[in-house]
């Protein structure tokens, strides 16, 4: 496992209930500002194994990137944590989590 992968896992584990981070934001905190797509792959392959709150990571527009049932599940999980949506977007100014803040 690369250091970037380890850092992504640790960053995602820090996101508290009721907050979100973007893929790009996770990539920056994990040390690679151009690694947003790699964050997607890491979450896809490692979320279950490492019990990650994968649903708390969304795209830079505040939207859920998953389609179909996966996207519906992600939205439901976020809503269950108190996150609201307007026009299928999360207000990042209200719900964005900053590591170390």
Per-residue pLDDT tens over the stretch 84-95: 999 999 999 999
Burial of residue 18, with CB atoms counted within 10 A of its CB: 0-12 exposed, 13-18 middle, 19 or more buried: middle
C-beta atoms surrounding 28 within 10 Å: 18
Q: How do residues 44-99 score in pLDDT, each as one tens digit?
A: 999 999 999 999 999 999 999 888 998 999 999 999 999 999 999 999 999 999 87
Residue for token pair 């640790």: 10
pTM of the model: 0.93
In order of their start, the domains of the chain are 3-95 (1.10.10.10)
CA–CA distance, 65 with 50 (Å, rounded to integer): 21
d(CA 4, CA 41): 12
Q: Can you state the percent helix, strand and coil of the chain, rounding each to 5? A: 50, 10, 40
Residue with tokens 């207000």: 91
Question: Token match 């527009």: residue?
Answer: 61
């Amino acid at each position: 496992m690369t250091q970037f992968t380890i850092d992504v896992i640790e960053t995602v584990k820090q996101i508290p209930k009721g907050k979100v981070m973007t893929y790009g934001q996770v990539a920056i905190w994990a040390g690679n500002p151009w690694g947003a797509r790699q964050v997607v792959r890491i979450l896809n392959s490692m979320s279950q194994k490492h019990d990650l709150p994968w649903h708390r990571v969304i795209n830079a527009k505040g939207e859920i990137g998953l389609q179909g049932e996966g996207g519906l599940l992600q939205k439901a999980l976020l809503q269950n944590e108190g996150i609201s949506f307007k026009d299928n977007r999360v207000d990042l100014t209200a719900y964005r989590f900053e590591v170390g803040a």
